[in-house]
Structure 1
């Protein structure tokens, strides 16, 4: 009598090789559970059900008995299997070590299938340069080859992959989980499964979630140390001594996780206690660094574990939703050094992700260093500092307010300011480029009605010069546009009248 683990392991292979022989019994409770899982979109249930069908076909081929036995009584399925075998004297076939131990305690005969490690078919798709393999039903198999930021998409074979071939691969992957060290099912949902199989991260999707079976397999091609990034000594000094609210940002596939991995090992070598929160766990780190899975714990549970264990640094990989950012913020304000990894097309976009989630005054306490990764290298580093000042573009001293300055860390020049204008917190660019952009926007607002008007930045304000001959066209509509722009940009706009010679009046 095979259990689910034996079906997933491929008990039919043992029968074909005559390593196992006898009549096959399938318990009705197991059959009902596999049917329920298949209807819910659990891939392991569907694969096990396929194996039951394969056993039935083999019974007709090799002339042994195949029976559906027992009654489903609502108990645990494994318990019902053991109870039936104990009463009828049949053997439980399993690939589950715990099931094997329990059967031995109860004196039930057991056939154990686990232990051997088979060569994986997916390994033939990989060479030293392969980053990921993409297999989709009714398409040619393809792969990304190269390194983050410098790769090409290549076709691996001229043969189109079909659903049955992809199913066999999934079957093999699920079988290998128990025998390959560091392997587990990270997430299993209706239509999707994410597996960590040794160094391979495997994403499996199928109908109804996707329009066909699809397998995406990624493997790290580079494992860098922080020293390999050729960082500026000033940045290295900050990472070593001051940085405790670190944000690593970049577009997908640019090398953010690889850098976070290198930074984790760097802090470990400095004698720091480092832990990670991942979903899924795909960072390859030394045993000294504990890796937590967000999928196997509630956010509150992770919060309690990390507060009580008091790591020096926690790496939060792939921050996406409000819960992720809230946990990052809570742990950072509790004094734990945090390293967050977020998707962003520009470094300022990463800071935007925090703007609506915290008060302006706490941002520098939560984030002090933003590192932007592009094509596998550090291309921008920002530091954040709080001050009370008149924001750039404003003139009167009574407009002074708390301002968070976002500085280029290496040049110490302010590139953005965060402050509250009206009731809205906004990030405003500072410097020549932003002034030119503002001048252009103001000019567009007035040109339609006042084609002769010009805009120029002078002494902290934008001056709109209107020819005397066109002053009659300066109406309420134009004035309203300028007022809105003034509020939106947090800047002052002044109107100046000029005569035909360009002299101010």
Structure 2
């Protein structure tokens, strides 16, 4: 190695990606020093950019920024050795020139120091706030940016939002690329942000509390950014759940599904449930893809993308959590992993997309043996408009399936019941090699409405409390309320002939009030 030249510096791939802001005493080095970049490093950055990877674009842009700042950067073409990878080339160049190696790779730093090459570690630079944050305010659920279109956003609360333009100006391709660049830079500069998945055609970034999905041509016809941010972090008490359901969630339920349509508030409820269990001294883990849940530090979060099914299985069994929350179950292997862990004795919560709670159960039919279903799933919570709309329980019985009459057709039947009313709403049974899912509650519920009496209470608004007055003659009667066919309340009329419904969430309050005013809120007295 030649005599040490402290004014000579070699930049490797990682240092260019991290940026000059992370170089210690950068201004002093610019004034006094000379910078070298191996050709292999430039080639690697070029290849990364051609594959659509953000690091390549950032690294090449950093070279341009260095030139703009008057930095003398030299690429020694005469020392090209195609047998060396970029890191080896940077190490060799620093050794031969007696230069200081600037790297963000701690492993390369240790190797360089072990052979006598002076190194300095490039850290993440000062965090810059991306323009993406400018589109968010206290009521914005998500931001949708696409080249050639006006930036749009969902404003409001889950289940009660409007899709509105956030600017009157259309976004050019350069503007969208600039925002993407700042997103990737901030993800690398912030300890609370990370790039979850990066492919040539798409990138998923967790930007602190903002989940960002970036798609590029030719996967999408144009550049697009979709960013989702939680508006409010709720506690389980904010959902006004019945005490019987809270008791089941705390002590009895071990195979839980949280279902609902996209954007209904499933992940928000899962977060509340996780924190509830932590408050009651339970060990909680999560499996996420991407890791976008907002949880306390005491909850360990695993990435399904970064670990194999076997690794996640082994780690969760050895770490012995009381409950594991599996966010965004979509693929067959997700259901298999859920099943394996549940049958191994791990309490499981799966977050799943479905239009009805019954459809969430049907997702497991064919994925696992029929007899295992009630052992794997015992409770289904359906989230709609940010609220727990319905709760179902599953149990296995031996009986004649609903709709059949012959006694010799008795067989194991999975009965799906409404947890609060204990009324069966569907049955699952095997006939030959097929599994049939037979709804029985919808017809029964409609029949019950025909036989029972519809009530027409008056309403009084007291802040965020709705007072429904049924008159004293209805005192003690059992009343069930529906909004467009979905049961939203069941209880008894008080001695004064009134029912008081208090709401902590304004969106739920508005939903009930608007449904009453439009005639969509129906009350029925049950016998």
Shift of 1:104: 5.5
Structure exhibiting the larger radius of gyration computed from Cα positions: 1
- Corresponding residue number in structure 2 for 1:452: none
Distance change in 2, residues 1:179/1:205 (3 Å): same
> Deviation digits for residues 465-484 of structure 1, max 9, x if unmatched?
xxxxxxxxxxxxxxxxxxxx
Q: Identify unmatched segments of 5+ residues in structure 1.
A: 438-505
Alpha-carbon distance between aligned partners in 2 of 1:374 and 1:33, rounded to the nearest angstrom: 48
Mapped to 1, the partners of 2:97 and 2:138 lie a distance apart of 54
User: Does 2:409 align with 1:403?
Assistant: no
- Give 2:52's aligned residue: 41
The 2-side partners of 1:101 and 1:275 are apart by 34
The structural deviation recorded for 1:55 is 4.9
Shift of 1:6: 3.2
Is residue 2:38 matched to residue 1:30?
Answer: no
**Is the counterpart of residue 186 in structure 1 residue 199 in structure 2?**
no
The aligned counterpart of 1:311 is 321
SS at match of 1:20: helix
Aligned 8 A contact 1:129 1:147 in 2: yes
1:274 aligns with 2:302: no
1:152, CA displacement in angstroms? 1.4
Alignment TM-score, normalising by the size of structure 2: 0.76
Tell me how far apart the structure 2 counterparts of residues 191 and 179 of structure 1 sit (CA, whole Å).
23
Whether 2:34 is the aligned partner of 1:7: answer no
Is 1:333 the counterpart of 2:343? The answer is yes
SS in 2 for 1:81: helix
- Name which of 74, 77, 81 aligns with 2:90: 81
Aligned match for 1:359, one of 362, 366, 369: 369
Q: After the TM superposition, which of the residue ranges 8-17 and 75-84 deviates more from structure 2?
A: 8-17
Work out whether residues 12 and 55 of structure 1, in 8 Å CA contact, stay in contact via their aligned partners in 2: no
**Number of aligned residue pairs:** 434
Deviation at 1:276, TM superposition (A): 0.3
Mapped to 1, the partners of 2:119 and 2:319 lie a distance apart of 44
Do the aligned residues in 2 keep the contact of 1:251 with 1:344 (CA within 8 Å)?
yes
Counterpart for residue 244 of structure 2: 234
1:21-54 Cα deviation digits (max 9, x unpaired):
4544331111222232233332222332344455
Please say if residues 104 and 110 of structure 1, whose CA atoms lie closer than 8 Å, have aligned partners that are also in contact: no
Name the CA distance, whole Å, in 2 between partners of 1:350 and 1:337: 18
Query: What is the aligned partner in structure 1 of residue 7 from structure 2?
Result: none
The CA deviation at 1:83 is 2.0
CA-based RMSD of the aligned residues comes to 2.7
- Larger deviation, residues 318-327 vs 148-157: 148-157
Look up the match of 1:132: 142
* Residues 1:257 and 2:267 are matched in the alignment: yes
Q: 2-side partners of 1:20 and 1:391: how far apart?
A: 81
Match runs of 1:199-210 below 5 Å: 199-210=209-220
Conserved in 1, the CA contact under 8 Å of 2:20 and 2:125? no
Could you tell me whether the CA contact under 8 Å between 1:417 and 1:430 is conserved in 2?
yes
TM-score, scaled relative to structure 1: 0.80
Q: The residue matched to 2:352 in structure 1 has which SS?
A: strand
Report the Cα offset of residue 235 of structure 1. 0.8
Instruction: String of CA shifts for 1:262-290, please: whole Å, max 9, x gaps.
Output: 11111111111110000000011111111
1:52-67 aligned within 5 A:
52-53=63-64, 55=66, 58=68, 62=70, 64=72, 66-67=74-75
Q: Corresponding residue for 2:499?
A: none
After superposition, the Cα gap between the structure-2 partners of 1:12 and 1:382, relative to the gap in structure 1 and judged at 3 Å, is closer
Tell me the distance in 1 between the aligned counterparts of 2:178 and 2:22: 13
Matched, 1:393 2:403: yes
1:167 counterpart = 2:177: yes
SS of structure 2 residue aligned to 1:177: helix
Change (3 A) 1:3 1:146: farther
Gaps of 5+ in 2: 1-9, 448-527
**How many angstroms apart in 2 are the aligned matches of 1:318 and 1:95?**
34
Secondary structure in 1 matching 2:329: coil
1:347 aligns with 2:357: yes
Give 1:300 deviation, angstroms. Answer: 0.6
Match of 1:368 in 2: 378
C-alpha distance 275-167 of structure 1, shift in aligned 2 (>3 A): same
Secondary structure, counterpart of 2:368 in structure 1? coil
Q: Structure 1 residues 415, 399: CA separation in 2 closer, same or farther (over 3 Å shift)?
A: same
How far is the alpha carbon of 1:7 from its aligned partner? 2.6
Q: Write the distance in 1 (CA, Å) between the matches of 2:172 and 2:26.
A: 25
Match of 2:512 in 1: none
Q: Is the 8 A contact 1:93 1:113 kept in 2?
A: no
Matched, 1:301 2:279: no
CA gap 1:395/1:111 in 2 versus in 1, 3 angstroms = closer
Give the Cα separation in 1 of the matches to 2:29 and 2:172.
31
